[in-house]
């Protein structure tokens, strides 16, 4: 797999873990769902910390 493909899979996993997979389908709906965005931001922050630790 290419690096871009791996990143795409990883990003999807982050969205799934945050329970916000719908954010990819409708950005407008996601903007109105602050809770979803907050969870997504937290999941992405945790992912960055995990990468640094490795």
**DSSP three-state, residue 26:** coil
Q: Which two tokens stand for residue 34?
A: 């602050």
pLDDT per position as a tens digit, 1-54: 455 555 555 666 666 666 655 545 565 565 556 777 777 778 778 767 765 554
pLDDT tens-digit series, residues 12-21:
666 666 665 5
Of 1, 23, 2, nearest to 12 by C-alpha is: 23
């Amino acid at each position: 797999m290419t690096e871009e493909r791996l990143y795409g899979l990883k990003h999807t996993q982050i969205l799934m873990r945050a329970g916000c997979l719908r954010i990819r389908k409708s950005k407008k709906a996601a903007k109105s769902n602050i809770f979803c965005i907050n969870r997504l931001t937290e999941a992405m922050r945790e992912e960055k910390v995990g990468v640094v630790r490795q």
